[in-house]
Amino acid sequence: MQKKIAFLFPGQGTVPSSPPVDGRRGERLLALAEQAGIPILSMLQNGDHDRLVRTENAQPAIFIDSLSKEEALRSRGIVPAAVAGHSLGEYAALVSSGVIPSPEDALAVVIDRGRLMGRVHGGGMAAILKLPLAKVEEICDGIDGAVNVANINGPTQIVISGDLEYLQAAMDACQDAGGRVIKLDVSGPFHTPLLAAAQVALAPSIERLEFLAANIPFVSSVSGRMESDPTTIRSLLLTQITACVQWVSTIESLVKLGIDVAIEVGPGKVLTNMGRRITDRIEFVTFKEAIDGAV
């Protein structure tokens, strides 16, 4: 019996450390990024990691890397029965599913997204481990300021985001409650209302994108459900950078779809590790493991 495979596309957690795998799509997108003033290939070849991890550069680099790897998997006959993306990864997932038919147009929006999000400062994010969602929500609700749950990455792996002063208070409270707290190296308070201005500025770029009915089931990390209506998907994408990432619900929806194997189609293993903590009903593998024959 043939296994049902899902492609999972990562967000900004890991940037590529080497040029995308060979493929026409990757070459074309790298050239477009270069024309837009983002010399990703040069940064990779020169080992300019500090520059590459900046939000404005990291987002298009991850998007291009993911779609290049997606092309490599398909060329080997590995095709998905469903797709999902974590935050930024939704853009690659929507290209993979056929909802956004033009990867070039999607890249243009990703470039805009990275630049707008990269300009937001004055806040931060922290991962909270070993505490359940309800407890983290209770702590955030009790802080007199802008602190929100930004990512639900696992049953006891929650990311909070907000203004730095209030974020520190929430971090201290989580630690006092027995949680393990890890401050994240990001430029702003992503996935909170503090990015509302950036979201409004990005909206015209998303509105210009063509959206079609999905060829492959797409699970939204904003709703945590399978979405098929192009208008609904566009609406969810419009709210994405201020909305909480519902990753646990996303993986649970893939379980309901009968997915057997989920491949992380990107440069790292962040989603692979997350998935293994969420469920044992899906086998999670990295891109390298998939290429090496794990699928």
- Give the list of residues 6+ apart from residue 254 with CB closer than 8 angstroms, or none: 6, 82, 84, 219, 262, 282
Distance of CA 170 to the CA centre of its chain: 24
Closest by CA position to 271, among listed 83, 131, 134: 83
Closest by CA position to 29, among listed 155, 230, 38, 10: 38
**Is residue 49 annotated as part of the catalytic site, yes or no?**
no
Q: Which of 86, 97, 187, 191 is catalytic?
A: 191
Residue 284's alpha-carbon distances to 37, 182, 248, in angstroms, are 36, 24, 14
- Give the list of residues 6+ apart from residue 44 with CB closer than 8 angstroms, or none: 16, 17, 18, 19, 52, 61
**Is residue 87 annotated as part of the catalytic site, yes or no?**
yes
Secondary structure tally for the chain: helices H, strands E: 13, 11
Q: Which of 87, 97, 220, 249 is catalytic?
A: 87
Cβ–Cβ < 8 Å for 208, 240: no
Residue reference for tokens 């990107």: 266
Active site residues: 87, 191
